[in-house]
Structure 1
């Protein structure tokens, strides 16, 4: 993505927020999530066509190529649906002939896969790569060997939720890009990057009326988990959208009808300190609440609206107390009582687990759910991240 940054539209398969934030930092272009669990296939096709507006599109996969097939949400599912050529990155450490067997397994495991090329990672030397390359080219006439990546290269830092968003200095990214691409044949890569757009339905979503209302979106380095299409959808549906940076102590406009606080980080000491003294912002949020206007908080937004997270005092607009654990409490796709599918990944949990809320979250085909959304008059918060374009009519009662 860094190499093609001037002409690329980045995409992320699956529900992850952190990778798209890196994509946007690298490409200076918003990255779009394509998720065939949260949206249906026609909707994902429409979304891909809508945003494929650059010379090249690059989709980052999710986990291993077939992981997520049980939820119809793997890289295999999405690339097959869109008929996009796939490059497999394989760890070559300590192997050579076995890698050819792995490729055979990947190629034959499911029909209709779009695997066209391979890059080998963690390679110790040119001679190591030649051993692998000779075997793969002997065994396959339909897999292009694009090259290899040296082992022991510098990497990005990570946090307990994923890659560290602060570790994004352009100088470091540029050096890493050059090192990664040093032994990769980009001409071969471009030769397989052929794509023919498919016909899609005009608008495969339930119609949503336009609202003559002003919505304020709290979005900054703390509250950073925002699907780009959700932002675009809000701009299409509301007469005015204002983005508010809480860290910079920006105030919520007095004429805003709705406040939407997106997910991200507020529970850690570092994140909390960034907003601890943003008193003008906090007072404007309290004013909004006192005037009985709608406030919608998603994940970190839910925590921020609560009383506290351990010893960190929050806004006190929802009568809830949370604690931060050392292991995730929820992770993965969930369905709720409203018929919405979304994603949750958090280490915090409600201290009073008997607290009754608005709806529960369930794993697919399970009736064993726990409450994850809570309401107090005009204030609503939920742990569930979802996409608005196909779910807005189910959640609008919490916003309007």
Structure 2
């Protein structure tokens, strides 16, 4: 049992400022923080890592059960503080066991709720009351008010919250219309912020927040989780090559660690640097990312050494690919020429083709995962890879299997669902 500080940051919906506050706290605790992200997100963890200088780990209550969540959290919570960024609204996803509420409850971590106080005062307390009463076992212990116009406004809202919501710690407020946010267009393109801009934003966000009050609800006891709650690891006497670069960057941190545990050797290479697949590789993994857009396709269209070596590898050896990896293995996406390893063509659409949790029913157990893409298959031989939306049984083509190649739109957590064909 270890006493540490941990906090989950949530709100009542998306676009309420969770990422901004998470960024500020990660910067504040940057020498002693472990970042985490609820759900299947790939973008926020990359931003977390830029600030905290340590990988951010996904905690997904749909793909993992409670014991597995606890094991992952315990394994990667190796510093003094853990900051977990929630997903959507606090309760959103609880029908799948994947909400911030589910994750916080499973990990016994308190939640800080970020509430928008703009244009309101008493109603904020009513909203908070509703959040607290919706589930008696909620983990909401503190709030920060966002979009506040003045100290007077803050004190007015705070007075009604403290009168109506006993036991909730009001930790401070964030000024409406912060200059640094407007100057950097934070939220439009977080990745463009440099370290000095991040420092300025963090300072301004935390200006009216009482850190000592916040830390009063961060105390947690991290239980030692000794039993391994996943399938027994069977080590392979093989070399795995993982393509990881600007085009293929959508990979969970624990997936990389898992590969290093099961394969004799794991080598990372870059397609955008036109690096060749080593001739002694037994399996190549192409994760998700971007190859279909103009901006990203230019990074890889002239990587001929990489493409030729991948084509050669595919003749006799294994390849596993997710989403962008699937597209790259195809012939073309519209007019963009891909590797032509698989007889599939794609088109990029103006609307999302998939967003959410899906499963692929292959073998004895369904493979759980998440899909989010704007492309679709326009031509392909008959495929046995179909993805099922978990809320309904309708299935659509979700990838392609050919000999020793398996490529799918599904992003999965391999420690939970390592593909048996690998």
TM-score category (smaller protein)? over 0.9
- Cα distance, 1:380 vs structure 2: 2.0
- Cα distance, 1:199 vs structure 2: 5.2
State the Cα deviation string for residues 8-48 of structure 1 (Å, max 9, x = none).
Answer: 00010111111111111111111111111011111111111
State the Cα deviation string for residues 284-310 of structure 1 (Å, max 9, x = none).
Answer: 2122123x1111111000011111111
1:325 to 349, 361, 365: 349
1:257 to 282, 296, 313: 282
Q: Counterparts of 1:266 and 1:157 in 2: how far apart (Å)?
A: 26
Establish whether residue 379 from structure 1 lines up as the match of residue 405 from structure 2.
yes
- Cα distance, 1:164 vs structure 2: 3.9
- Equivalent positions of 1:58-207 (< 5 A) are 58-153=83-178, 154=181, 164=189, 166-198=191-223, 200=225, 202-207=227-232
- Cα distance, 1:163 vs structure 2: 6.3
- Cα distance, 1:121 vs structure 2: 1.0
Report the counterpart of residue 10 of structure 1 in structure 2.
35
- Cα distance, 1:378 vs structure 2: 2.3
Question: What SS class does the counterpart of residue 389 from structure 1 fall into?
Answer: helix
More deviation, 278-287/117-126? 278-287
- Cα distance, 1:138 vs structure 2: 2.2
More deviation, 73-82/246-255? 246-255
Instruction: State the aligned residue count.
Output: 391
State the Cα deviation string for residues 205-248 of structure 1 (Å, max 9, x = none).
Answer: 11131001000000112111010110000000001000111112
Q: Counterparts of 2:118 and 2:381 in 1: how far apart (Å)?
A: 50
Question: What SS class does the counterpart of residue 252 from structure 1 fall into?
Answer: coil
- Cα distance, 1:358 vs structure 2: 2.8
Q: Is the 8 A contact 2:128 2:165 kept in 1?
A: no
Question: Structure 1 residues 163 and 355 mapped into 2: Cα distance closer, same or farther (>3 Å)?
Answer: farther
Q: Counterparts of 1:310 and 1:163 in 2: how far apart (Å)?
A: 27
More deviation, 123-132/334-343? 123-132
Question: Structure 1 residues 164 and 310 mapped into 2: Cα distance closer, same or farther (>3 Å)?
Answer: farther
Question: What SS class does the counterpart of residue 290 from structure 2 fall into?
Answer: coil
- Cα distance, 1:125 vs structure 2: 1.8
What CA RMSD, in Å, does the superposition of the two structures yield over aligned residues?
1.6
State the Cα deviation string for residues 83-137 of structure 1 (Å, max 9, x = none).
Answer: 1010001111111110001111111110211111101111122221111112112
Establish whether residue 359 from structure 1 lines up as the match of residue 365 from structure 2.
no
Gaps of 5+ in 2: 1-25
Q: Counterparts of 1:287 and 1:191 in 2: how far apart (Å)?
A: 58
Q: Is the 8 A contact 1:317 1:379 kept in 2?
A: no
Q: Counterparts of 1:147 and 1:140 in 2: how far apart (Å)?
A: 16
Q: Is the 8 A contact 1:146 1:189 kept in 2?
A: yes
Report the TM-score, using the length of structure 1 for normalisation.
Answer: 0.94
Q: Is the 8 A contact 1:42 1:204 kept in 2?
A: yes
Gaps of 5+ in 1: none
Q: Counterparts of 2:107 and 2:134 in 1: how far apart (Å)?
A: 19
| Structure 1 runs, 4 residues or longer, greater than 6 Å off | none
2:241 to 202, 216, 225: 216
Structure with the greater relative contact order (CA < 8 A, sep ≥ 6): 1 or 2?
2
1:369 to 370, 380, 395: 395
Q: Is the 8 A contact 1:308 1:322 kept in 2?
A: yes
Q: Is the 8 A contact 1:157 1:167 kept in 2?
A: no
Report the TM-score, using the length of structure 2 for normalisation.
Answer: 0.89
Q: Counterparts of 2:77 and 2:164 in 1: how far apart (Å)?
A: 35
Q: Counterparts of 1:306 and 1:95 in 2: how far apart (Å)?
A: 53
More deviation, 375-384/292-301? 375-384
Question: What SS class does the counterpart of residue 415 from structure 2 fall into?
Answer: coil
Q: Is the 8 A contact 2:74 2:224 kept in 1?
A: no
Q: Is the 8 A contact 2:47 2:191 kept in 1?
A: no
- Cα distance, 1:141 vs structure 2: 3.2
Report the counterpart of residue 347 of structure 1 in structure 2.
374
State the Cα deviation string for residues 324-380 of structure 1 (Å, max 9, x = none).
Answer: 11110000000111201100000111113x852132111125321011020222222
1:300 to 312, 324, 329: 324
